[in-house]
Structure 1
């Protein structure tokens, strides 16, 4: 299957670039995307494989990010619901701390800090989305309600105690089902067409009824009056 181009609008990308982004979807690398209705939440489950096959399901913490820079998705669990005692690490906080690093290196096992200790800092805003996933916390990815799209996520194991290896994976999600809202131009054009159609019918009806009036009312009366004058 040949590569297809995907258009990512700049308003859906990190750092809000000046232009939209058009990239190729690499089927040979990403495989077929999982198609989800925009109302469906998604909880990734990660499996570890080696050259001999399946090893185990990964129970350690991991993070995901969209490799082309999309950030128009979120998580259904908050820091407070997860049990955090202070603000957890997020992509926003980690990119602000590591501005000189590429996105895939700003957050990982080497700088991971959990949020379940009073000793680390003040509570902060615990109503923020919790962006760390594992098998048991049922933290799901959730999608925007106003547009569809293709997402290519990369996974990184976050727990430093899981392995010295840098385990990563890629999976793709295609979100569908959103009914696009019409543009203002289309709405205005449609209303103008309806008004034009209404007035056209009104004018045609006027001439139609005038013809009926002339044929069946005015002309017979005129002929009667004319006969009366001649008699």
Structure 2
């Protein structure tokens, strides 16, 4: 038994002298009949048995009988066999094979290889039958096409046939429920001929947004599908290839990953310290101690950016080393060591939300205690956008004024820094959360190093504020005490001068502790005026 390369399930099976077929998913079954003698029994002699059955990539079917070396020929989806000349076949026991170019060859026991002109013998055997079309061509160049969730594949075929014959290009699929198909036709006309140019555009039917069983639905949408485009009317007189058969693999293409634009050369630091004021515990509280961490050399050089600039990483989608596109899906990021001294520029309202958007705080409240991985807390399996009003969860007036924590290369949201440490380093992990973007788990990491910070730019902390306040109070207190002492001393010097002046003028003056009380206020004023004049 042999399965055939066809969009509709097809197979051949045989006994010693008959070939049976099953085409079109089992709806077309029967026994192959030899055209020249209208019999299903193969062989030139009663002793002949089927020795070998071959099928080429183009759909040729070749049957070799032994010991007569008789050859029979047919094609996939045909019900008849034609008998070929065996003049070029060696008389000794041998085997047949198709090479990579689809040419038939025979090889003997002594490894002698001989080509067999299959096309020439087929044309001679079917003459004078004429093909119902002039030319069939297609643009398929790959054995397998990998089709991701958000992408589409375009395949084209052209058929040139006489105006007075009906013909068209059939499109067959091994699984219509997995693929959306769109057919675009364009006709061209010549003298007595017309050409049908048919383009087939396909994409996955999977809709994974908002489903409860995300993993199961995702796995069910990934499969291998065979597509076939071929003329409606064809026979063995037509030139090969007379069909385009391609394999489409729905799923994550091999080697698909994210790459962040970053420097290729730098001097990376082995470790650094995160201050406790920048660290956040799992419960959202500020850490009570600083943290010494290692820089992950595997994520490459950190991206340098000014601490006053907003930041948005440039992320591309790659297949191996081949750039596919700029990644334009919604994604989230987190700092792997718990740094929290950054925020977002846009609020939920500015991002266009009609209901409260998902946030890290909200998502962490909805998971079990044992689930610690960040990508398990929030990802494509539970992402819900906020661009429709959620009637089941009424929002408050201030809900949309909260920071919007989802990023996109085409959105308004960016990262803003809230740090006072010079040369601050962050290590981020990025995860695509849009479930309709890819079958792949798209996640990558990168580093950021802030530049441009000066000590004068650093905002004051609580300790610094207290220190400055105490210093100011002490300074004012010393100034006040100094002023009181100076003023008192200055007054005593004035009073002593007035007392001496009274004694020189023969005016009795008080002595001892009664000096100050005994001075007449008018006399004091007169003396001060005189002293100032001198």
TM-score range (shorter-chain normalised) is 0.7 to 0.9
RMSD: 2.4
Distance 2:323 2:273 in 1: 35
Alignment of 1:143-182 (within 5 A): 143-148=417-422, 149-180=424-455, 181=458
Distance 1:172 1:60 in 2: 21
Q: Which structure is higher in RCO with an 8 Å CA cutoff and minimum separation 6?
A: 1
Specify every segment of 5 or more residues in structure 1 that has no aligned partner in the other structure, as ranges: 196-231
Structure 2 residue aligned with 1:111: 382
Partner of 1:69, secondary structure, is coil
State which of 15, 19, 24 in structure 1 corresponds to 2:294.
24
Distance 2:467 2:352 in 1: 48
Distance 2:448 2:279 in 1: 16
Structure 1 residue aligned with 2:270: 4
State the aligned residue count: 190
Contact in 1 for aligned 2:275/2:290 (Cα 8 Å): yes
Distance 1:26 1:116 in 2: 37
Distance 2:337 2:388 in 1: 34
Distance 2:356 2:384 in 1: 10
Alignment of 1:123-202 (within 5 A): 123-124=395-396, 125-148=399-422, 149-180=424-455, 181=458, 184=464
With normalisation by structure 2, the TM-score equals 0.33
Structure 1 residue aligned with 2:279: 13
Distance 2:273 2:289 in 1: 11
Distance 1:113 1:152 in 2: 26
Structure 2 residue aligned with 1:83: 352
Distance 1:147 1:132 in 2: 26
Structure 1 residue aligned with 2:150: none
Larger strand proportion of the pair:
2
Structure 1 stretches of 4+ with a deviation exceeding 6 A read none
Larger helix proportion of the pair:
1
Alignment of 1:40-119 (within 5 A): 40-100=309-369, 101-102=371-372, 103-119=374-390
Distance 2:448 2:368 in 1: 28
Contact in 2 for aligned 1:43/1:138 (Cα 8 Å): no
